[in-house]
Amino acid sequence: MPRRSAAHVADSRASAVEAAVDLASVVGLEGITIGRLAGELAMSKSGLIGRFGDKEAMQRAVLAAAVERFTDAVWRPALRSEPGLPRLEAVVDAWIGHLRDRVFRGGCFVTTASVEYDARPGPLHDDVAAAVRRWLGVLEAEARHARAAGDLPADRDPTDVAFELHSLASGGGVAGRLIGDAAALDRTRAAMRRAIGLPPASRR
């Protein structure tokens, strides 16, 4: 049998990671095991181990891929808007759209991982915390810009704004899915807009 090309191996590693992201969004990062993922992908365990090394390396790759999906869906499109308030408004819309699209089969990946690792020290905790801190930093920089431009009150703390947007999206996404409230994402969007001083706007 000919050796498979490096490109083929990279492709199949990427597909394994994407399948694992979907699986982990339902069962949690702790819930994916090499055995379970091998079953899902109809691959051998040894094949998967060859690709990832060990369970923790696989979990870290999965988390990184999930963060990348979020960035692609929520942050990159917002870069087309002007810095400051217009960009924050675009982020809110993209974030709600992302939650509405159910990009992750089991709800927001980073929120699920945050809950899994908030009380469990280790490399996965550190990776999730670093991803959330980076995202809060990005939101805070935009809020600071908006304040400097006079689009947010001078006494509004940009760190508070960032934390509030994150809390609303995270908590609102979870509660809405749980109770099956179809209007939950509209409520979340209105609350996020209020947090940056915008009117609730027409419900979509």
The letter for the amino acid at 62 is V
Single residue of 52, 188, 193, 196 touching a second copy by CB under 8 A: 188
Single residue of 77, 86, 97, 107 touching a second copy by CB under 8 A: 107
Size of the site for a second copy (CB under 8 A): 49
Tell me how far apart the alpha carbons of residues 136 and 68 are, in angstroms, rounded to a whole number: 15
Token pair in block for residue 24: 């982990």
* Nearer to a second copy among residue 84 and residue 172 (C-beta): 172
Q: Given the rule CB under 8 A, which of 3-11, 35-43, 44-52, 113-121 is the region that contacts a second copy? A: 113-121
Single residue of 57, 64, 115, 149 touching a second copy by CB under 8 A: 115
Q: Which of 13, 67, 59, 65 is nearest to 36 (CA)?
A: 59
| Location of structure tokens 């431009």 | 149
Q: Given the rule CB under 8 A, which of 40-48, 72-80, 88-96, 167-175 is the region that contacts a second copy? A: 167-175
Does position 179 bind a second copy by CB under 8 A? yes
* Nearer to a second copy among residue 23 and residue 48 (C-beta): 23
